[in-house]
Copies of this chain bind each other. A is one copy, B any other.
Amino acid sequence: MATRITRTSGAMRKAPKQARSRATIDAILDAAAHILGERGWSAFTTNAVAETAGVSIGSLYQYFPDKLALIDAVRRRHFDDVLAVLQAGANPEIPRTRRIAALVDGMIAVHSRHPAAHRVLMEESPRGDTSRSAHDRFELACRKAYEALFIANASGGSHHVRLAAQVLAGALAGAVHEAARQGQLASPVLRWELVTLVNAYLSRARPVSVSRSEKVPAVRV
């Protein structure tokens, strides 16, 4: 039950020198992503990945020194895809409304293929050292994309662009996750609501200041 991963895993055991190697690696990554998305983290065993990929377990370990390196590779590849989505909507030439729509559509698309995989990669699976920088680059890129929306939009005037961008990112991701869990990703109403959410927050209808409510019940855990 525990994650028996101790070794600090290096990136990839060997660089693909031949086309065959590259094909093997891709088969392994595809199989890994597939299992993660369809059957979840608990079914993600190295033996299962190797079998699904149609290679021997020995071959898998020839390319990935351990399980951590494997999941990191999957994550890296997934990040690239998501970044492509985000940047497609980052062009400042496009009107803001259209960019918001592109953002929402992109997020929906990201979660539509294998709804579980994204969440598993982001939240459930352990991170190796390799993943660190890739993950940082990813978060940076995401933040930039969201910040760009705020910056382009002077109306709100928040001086906490960075935190606001983070809130927006978390909110959109959370709403999409929940919709994915409910199987509503394809709903046009959902899309509309998400667009509304982003738009409204960017427009920042100013609330009246509120003081901290006096009594919040204690919460265990």
Which residues on A are within 8 Å of B, measured CB to CB?
1-5, 33, 36-37, 41-45, 67, 74, 77-78, 81-82, 84-85, 88-89, 97-98, 100-102, 105-106, 109-110, 112-114, 117-119, 121, 123-124, 126, 158, 160, 163-164, 166-179, 182, 184, 187, 189-191, 193-197, 199-201, 203-208, 210-213, 215-221
- Given contacts A105-B213, A207-B196, A213-B102, are A77 and B220 in contact (CB under 8 A)? yes
A39 to chain B, nearest CB (A): 10
With A1-B4, A109-B219 given, name 15 new contacts (CB 8 A): A1-B45, A2-B44, A74-B221, A81-B220, A85-B216, A101-B212, A102-B213, A114-B221, A123-B124, A163-B190, A166-B179, A170-B177, A171-B197, A196-B201, A200-B203
Name the one of B109, B170, B176, B178 contacting A216, with C-beta atoms under 8 angstroms: B109
A57 to chain B, nearest CB (A): 12
Name the one of B2, B168, B176 contacting A42, with C-beta atoms under 8 angstroms: B2
Is A126 touching B42 in the complex (CB atoms < 8 A)?
A: yes
Is B173 touching A216 in the complex (CB atoms < 8 A)?
A: no
Interchain Cβ contacts under 8 Å between A and B, 24 examples = A1-B5, A2-B43, A36-B221, A77-B221, A84-B217, A97-B207, A98-B210, A101-B212, A105-B212, A109-B219, A113-B219, A118-B221, A123-B123, A163-B193, A167-B175, A168-B175, A168-B197, A170-B175, A170-B179, A171-B175, A174-B174, A195-B207, A199-B205, A200-B204
